[in-house]
A and B are shown apart, each in its own frame.
Chain A
Amino acid sequence: MTKKVLLVCGAGASSGFMAAAARKATKKLGKDIEFKAKSESEIGEHLNAIDLLLVAPHLKYMIDDVKSACEEAGVKYGIIPQKVYGSLDGQGLVIVAEEILQGGVQ
């Protein structure tokens, strides 16, 4: 089944670019993961329909809120590494997402 990953940042702009890069990489790698991007204010509306929530590194100040919301909804979560985000490394993001989805680091 397709794994659904939601990326969030302040306005959904930079995470939108990140998601586009990840979608390109997913296609190239032949993975079954769907990447979408939204603004952090929309997290609540989407939590029930996703497998993993990835927060942009510049939003790490809100990770405590994300943590409790995700734990309550039974959704995995993580912070996108700065290196991946800053260089729009789609393949890097796919690797990070897979690691967390497979139950590795959270």
Chain B
Amino acid sequence: MEQINKEELALVSMNVILHAGNARDYVYQAVDKASNGDFVQADELMEKANEEIVTAHKAQTNTLQKEAEGIEIPYSPLFGHAQDTIMTVKSEMNIMREIIKLYKKI
């Protein structure tokens, strides 16, 4: 059975972690702007966060879809960690989006 090379999987994982991390950075900047009433900047930063999370998510999805194509993905704690990172950042993003909405109301 065809298999993804472990080194290649490690590089994909590093990129997922990197882009998810960039998204988290933008999310926190956005909330900071919103808390100061700077909503235009906050929305722009959330937009940037979204672009980063989409990049990270695509890298993950491309890898997962290989399994569907019959290519075996070797077990990698680093890849698991990368998936955990992306999901955590996604949740933070959803929560922060609501918090920004609240800031807009008060």
Contact = CB atoms under 8 A, between A and B. Distances in A.
Interface of A: 9-11, 13-14, 17-18, 56-61, 82, 85-88
A13 B85 CA distance: 11
A59 B21 contact: yes
A58 B17 contact: yes
A105 B102 CA distance: 41
Measured as residues with beta carbon below 8 angstroms from the partner, the interface class of chain B is 10 to 19
B13 A14 contact: yes
Contact of A14 (B24, B25, B29, B78): B78
Interface of B: 10-11, 13-15, 17-18, 20-22, 24-25, 28-29, 77-78, 81-82, 85
A85 B77 contact: no
Nearest to B77: A13
Contacts of B28: 61
Contact of B14 (A11, A17, A59, A60): A17
Contacts of B18: 57-58, 82, 85-86
B32 to A, nearest CB: 10
A56 B14 CA distance: 11
